[in-house]
């Protein structure tokens, strides 16, 4: 029998960074806070990005086949918070944020971040309430040095 409290406690101990995932589908653009992200391969360079299946951004990634991850600095908790709410509730989350279109994907990339990777979706697994998108890194850039923002340092919980 599964101990629900133990499961929740232990799953929340898995460390996660916080990223802004930029997406686009045609002229539509959005960004959301992603935390279930990890590197999956060296050759080719792959990352895994788990996205809530009922979100608008999920549909945009599925349609366009691309996404970009902006790596947040340890001091950017407010930026992460700004991108947590669904676009349908708050409108254009990118309107007040300095960003540019990724040279490889056209996805929004935050200017004020440590750096970014741009990815082309090469696989996906649709199970549970999130889809696991496997993205091949086709572009990357460094904006500045610093330590990344970690979920555990914010006091927030996601998952479990």
159 pLDDT above the threshold of 60? no
Going along the chain from its start, the domains and CATH numbers come out as 16-36+56-120+140-154 (2.30.110.10)
> What is the mean predicted confidence (pLDDT) over 138-147?
97
Nearest 5°: the CA angle 44, 158, 139 is 25
Pair of tokens at residue 145 = 């040095």
pTM: 0.92
Helix (H) / strand (E) containing 107: none
Integer angstrom CA distances of residue 149 from 12, 101, 103, 146, 153: 16, 22, 25, 9, 7
Tens of pLDDT, residue by residue over 26-76, are 999 999 999 999 999 999 999 999 999 999 999 999 999 999 999 999 999
Q: DSSP secondary-structure letter at 43?
A: T
């Amino acid at each position: 029998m599964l101990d629900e409290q133990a499961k929740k406690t232990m799953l929340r101990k898995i460390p996660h960074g916080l990223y802004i995932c930029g997406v686009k589908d045609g002229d539509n653009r959005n960004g959301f806070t992603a935390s279930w992200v990890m590197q999956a391969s060296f050759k080719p360079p792959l990352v895994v990005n788990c996205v809530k299946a009922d979100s608008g951004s999920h549909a945009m990634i599925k349609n366009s086949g691309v996404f970009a991850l902006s790596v947040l600095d340890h001091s950017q908790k407010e930026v992460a918070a700004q991108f947590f709410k669904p676009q349908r509730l708050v409108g254009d989350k990118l309107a007040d944020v300095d960003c540019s279109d990724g040279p490889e994907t056209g996805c929004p990339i935050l200017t004020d971040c440590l750096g970014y990777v741009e990815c082309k979706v090469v696989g996906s697994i649709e199970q549970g309430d999130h889809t696991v998108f496997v993205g091949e890194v086709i572009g990357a850039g460094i904006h500045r040095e610093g330590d990344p923002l970690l979920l555990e340092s914010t006091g927030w919980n996601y998952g479990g």
